[in-house]
Structure 1
Amino acid sequence: MSPFKSLGFRAGVLSVLMLVVLLAVWRTATLPDAPAPAPAKTLSAEQIEYLKMMGKDPGAPAPAEAGGSTRSGGFPTPLQTATAAWQHLRDPFYDKGPNDKGIGIQLAYSLARVGLGFGLACLVAIPLGFVIGMSPLLRRAFDPFIQVLKPISPLAWMPLALYTIKDSSISGIFVIFICSIWPMLVNTAFGVASVKREWLNVSATLEVNPLRRALLVILPAAAPTILTGMRISMGIAWLVIVAAEMLVGGTGIGYFVWNEWNNLSLTSVIFAVLVIGVVGMLLDLAFGRLQKAVTYVE
């Protein structure tokens, strides 16, 4: 076995052990407490008679003592969460009305919104980043606007989007667009500006036209940095769409979380949170593979 495979195997074993420890801690934290023994209490004859008149058994424990409290305050156990997950995964694409759709349908709506908003951001950010990166004058001119708009929370745009667009679904796509554009724009401009001068000088010596120089020299050199920006943007987009769908409602994994919370189904909420994390990890892995594929290793 090669050292790389050995390292990957050990990392996998360590990850499994960490998962087992996490589940054990979760299970221990949700174990019910042992009911406390009832304190000895002597009732007077008048108190006993009064309890009998009220239809109560003088020898019965108090209601708070009868059931015994749980340490977790009702927090679901891993087994309960796994049971709820199986119920959702058994039929993920059912549709029983506006407020009762399967997890697969809700996830598809969220991915569609993220894909559309992210794609529109790519169409704007990458060409504009190329132009900014190739011109020091434009880079200085655009920098104040980028620095002012970049730190604004994406959800702060939601009220303006709802007021102007007047459509909750399109407003969610706009929020994805506005939060995805900045990392791609900044990384594209930085990657283009960081292309080695020697490569540009060679292309100028060979009298390569600007379009061919951009596609055959600058783009391959800046591709790893551009993919880094796209990877960051996708992570932010997936983070934001969940919060946006909680606000606008309708459909989506964010709305699913909020609806299950209103139904007081904590097991479904935990399951949805895990689904959100797994999908985010898969999206990040996909962009990580693309970034590795376009990275030149000397």
Structure 2
Amino acid sequence: MSAIMPAVENAPVSASADNGKAEQVMQNTAASASVATKPKVKGGKLSLRPFFLAVVPPVLGLIFLVLVWEIIAVKNSGIPSPSLTLKSAIELFSDPFYSNGPNDQGIGWNILASLKRVGVGFGLAALVGIPLGFMIGRFSFLSGMFNPIISLLKPVSPLAWLPIGLLVFKAADPAAIWSIFICSIWPMIINTAVGVQRVPQDYMNVAKVLNLSEWKIITKILFPSVLPYMLTGVRLAIGTAWLVIVAAEMLTGGVGIGFWVWDEWNNLNVAHIIIAIVVIGIVGLVLEQVLVAIAKFFSYEDVKN
């Protein structure tokens, strides 16, 4: 009894020491982050090298793109110059939400219609794909059952599914959403399943020892470990979905950025087509960066002393 009591009495001291060490680690990490964000000073002068490395290369890349575009426009009279395209863009975005009928609406309405279809199709794919990925990764029987199906259907072009959607749903809008769904689901299933399969076996052994239910295993062990993999699948899926919706809308018609591009081609308005290409790229980039930021927020790294 006397041998046990000192250990019990020393326990608060050990916990206090651990807390002090944790606080010191946090202070060191905050200090390191503060130093990393401050501009470097060399010889008493402020170093602008990081700023130039971050700003100058992208600016030079854009200038190079515009120069190539200008040269092509000079050689080919059918391609509008950058200045002419900029003028058309200013006129176009001066009233992006006008509406003169179902087939004559501003570019703002077309972008929103496309984003709505992407949101519905992508959301349905997440509701089905992420739980299915968990089950495939968790149970080897389901993995063996679904892997051949995924390997067979994943390489199929999403647009090949569009006629099936038109046949089943008898309408263009749900057919386009179906195409987004079928192309978005594979990255989420595969990445989620891979994440589940890479959970350390020690974690699962502890769950067996503690006799945890399947629900607690999923919520307390699998989900936190799989989250970075899952978000990677979501990021890949949203990029693919945005690519597919443009092509799908070209074929189905209606309101949407893809239909707007095709309509402008029928009107031989190449400047508006180029503007649409830039807008599609910007929207896709924004969607990608938002999901990258979310993925980084949920990524954890070991703190080193």
Give deviations 1:205-227, integer Å, cap 9, x for gaps.
Answer: 33332212211211110111111
Q: Of 250, 255, 280, which aligns to 1:276?
A: 280
C-alpha deviation, 1:20, in angstroms = 1.1
Q: Which moved more, 1:198-207 or 1:257-266?
A: 198-207
The letter of the residue matching 1:203 is: A
C-alpha deviation, 1:7, in angstroms = 4.1
Alignment map for 1:33-112 (pairs within 5 Å): 71-112=75-116
Residues 96 and 223 of structure 1, relative CA distance in 2, 3 Å threshold: same
Q: Of 210, 222, 229, which aligns to 1:225?
A: 229
C-alpha deviation, 1:279, in angstroms = 0.3
User: Any idea what SS the aligned residue of 2:204 has?
Assistant: helix
Give deviations 1:75-98, integer Å, cap 9, x for gaps.
Answer: 100011101111111111111112
Residues 110 and 206 of structure 1, relative CA distance in 2, 3 Å threshold: same
- Aligned twin of 2:185: 181
Whole-angstrom CA distance in 2 between matches of 1:180 and 1:142: 17
- Aligned twin of 2:244: 240
Whole-angstrom CA distance in 2 between matches of 1:203 and 1:2: 48
The letter of the residue matching 1:195 is: V
Name the % identity: 46
- Aligned twin of 1:196: 200
Alignment map for 1:112-191 (pairs within 5 Å): 112-191=116-195
Whole-angstrom CA distance in 1 between matches of 2:132 and 2:71: 54
TM-score calculated relative to the size of structure 1: 0.83
TM-score calculated relative to the size of structure 2: 0.82
C-alpha deviation, 1:9, in angstroms = 4.6
Whole-angstrom CA distance in 1 between matches of 2:274 and 2:190: 35
- Aligned twin of 1:39: none
Give deviations 1:238-272, integer Å, cap 9, x for gaps.
Answer: 00000000000011000000000000000000000
The letter of the residue matching 2:216 is: R
CA contact (8 A) 1:220 1:294 kept: no
Residues 91 and 7 of structure 1, relative CA distance in 2, 3 Å threshold: same
2:215 maps to 1:211: yes
The letter of the residue matching 1:187 is: N
- Aligned twin of 2:255: 251
Q: Of 54, 57, 76, which aligns to 1:14?
A: 57
Whole-angstrom CA distance in 2 between matches of 1:161 and 1:210: 36
Please state which structure has a larger fraction of its residues in helix.
2
Whole-angstrom CA distance in 2 between matches of 1:122 and 1:9: 40
Whole-angstrom CA distance in 2 between matches of 1:9 and 1:123: 44
Aligned length: 258
- Structure 2 residue runs of 5 or longer lacking an equivalent are 1-37, 41-47
* Alignment RMSD (CA, Å): 1.5
Whole-angstrom CA distance in 2 between matches of 1:150 and 1:21: 37
